[in-house]
Amino acid sequence: MNPTSVTRRTAAGDRLTLVMRPLLFACLGVALLVPAQELYRKRPDANTRWATFENPSAAKGAAASENKKAKGHAFDSFKAGETKTLLNVMGSGSVRRMWVTLPERDPAMLRSLRLEMFWDGAKTPAVSVPFGDFFGAMHGRAARLENELFVNPEGRSFNCYIPMPFRRGARITLTNESGRDLDSLFYDVDVLLTDRPDPEALYFHAVFRRQRWTEPGRDFEILPRVRGEGRYLGVHYGVITAPEITGWWGEGEVKMYLDGDESLPTIAGTGTEDYIGTGWGQGLFQSRYQGCTVADEKARQYAFYRYHIPDPVYFHKDARVTIQQMGGDTKANVLKMLERGVDVRPVSIAYQDKFERLLDLPRDFDLAKSPAPDDAWVNIYQRQDVSAVALFYLDSPENSLPAMPSAEARRAALPAGPREH
């Protein structure tokens, strides 16, 4: 390399830095100023309302009317089979925060409470999910949680900060499908009512799916195909591994089929733990947009969340999100499973500097005859018990997705996680 040319380029780079540095700081200042301005700007078009048992209609000047204004209705009983309306307002605005707490928070209870949200008078809910899973308590395990969208400060209460716009009205209900009475339910839903709706706002949706045992080689649908324009916001995902399968469960890649994709997706990840920003396994951690809330090897339970906020996933015609049902183990252990008749299917094998795509080989390929050493890593299709809450926005208040499974199906064979109080 010519030293003279290096000197010239260095001098030019120094001059460019002197020019660009003030511009960069100016841009940074603007970026920081915009959200800060929201804290002190006037909003003559906005009115804050809270729906609670002290003011269930969220009406102006109507709160705390009982017991001579002295905490007369902070909570209510919640009978088996009962539906409580947590919010029912007319006009335009957005839900800004939800907070709920209740005395019984075991896995069966959190899976049995049905949370539903209706926008603009729609007949079918945009959100129909188990209460616990929606708030990040996958498998009904209420772990301490703090991220960008959900907070459970001490494992005893449930907060959501997802903005949920509406144009003509909003209704939120909670139904007790547990078969047990609750002596108390506390909540508040914080709403910002506005004079006019935002014409560019999308409607918030959430859908729950559970497959008791997935089929090896068939991807699990996190989000079945939805049609319209919108944004995939993220997922709460839970896995219960099969007792007969050894090794690691999380080799499956997330796939996103966008705007007409059929056989091949536009987006594909590289592995399950990779999708939430970690690697080489998955232990407990929490961060703003991704984390693992359950990593219980003894109970064979795992759970994680992933939010596409700084890395948005938009779609303009339709979207579908899946995840492969794939794990892995050493060649020796995979051969032992195959000898026992376990339904696993080798996909690839890696050792030294080699990576073999086994599905591209002839059907009569025999893993036992592979020259790979016993400790070579073999990825395998396998079965898993999977549940997921997909979070997304859509340009319609209804989504035409299948109805949520019954409470019995949601609770089926659910291991009893630690009970939080």
Number of domains into which the chain is organized: 2
The answer to whether residue 3 is domain-embedded is no
**Are 286 and 180 in the same domain?**
yes
**Are 201 and 345 in the same domain?**
no
The answer to whether residue 6 is domain-embedded is no
Pairing of strands 182-194, 318-323: unpaired
**Are 309 and 344 in the same domain?**
no
**Are 200 and 84 in the same domain?**
yes
Q: Rounded distance, CA 414 to CA 354, Å? A: 40
Q: Quick check: helix, strand or coil at residue 5?
A: helix
**Are 375 and 395 in the same domain?**
no
Distances in Å between the alpha carbon of 359 and those of 75, 331, 363, 381, 407? Answer: 58, 16, 8, 11, 39
**Are 199 and 215 in the same domain?**
yes
**Are 145 and 173 in the same domain?**
yes
**Are 200 and 282 in the same domain?**
yes
Residue whose tokens read 């804290």: 39
Q: 319: domain CATH number?
A: 2.60.120.1390
Other C-beta atoms lying within 10 Å of the C-beta of residue 222: 23
- Count, in order, helices (H) and strands (E) of the chain: 6, 27
**Are 214 and 333 in the same domain?**
no
pLDDT digits (tens, 9 = 90+) for 204-213: 999 999 999 9
Q: Report the Cα 219 to chain-centroid distance in Å.
A: 18
Kindly state the average pLDDT of the residues 197-203: 96
The answer to whether residue 36 is domain-embedded is no
The answer to whether residue 19 is domain-embedded is no
Range of the domain at 211: 46-65+72-325+384-411
Tokens of 69: 């204004």
Banded model confidence at residue 415, pLDDT cuts 50, 70, 90: low
pLDDT digits (tens, 9 = 90+) for 217-265: 999 999 999 999 999 999 999 999 999 999 999 999 999 999 999 999 9
**Are 277 and 375 in the same domain?**
no
Please check whether residue 107 is in contact with residue 416, taking contact to mean a CB–CB distance below 8 angstroms.
yes
Q: Rounded distance, CA 243 to CA 78, Å? A: 37
pLDDT at residue 93 above 80?
yes
144-148, Cβ contacts within 8 angstroms, sequence gap of 24 or more: 145/286, 145/293, 146/286, 147/286, 147/287, 147/288, 147/289, 147/291, 147/305, 147/307, 148/288, 148/289, 148/307, 148/309
**Are 91 and 132 in the same domain?**
yes
pTM: 0.89
Tokens of 6: 């290096």
**Are 255 and 359 in the same domain?**
no
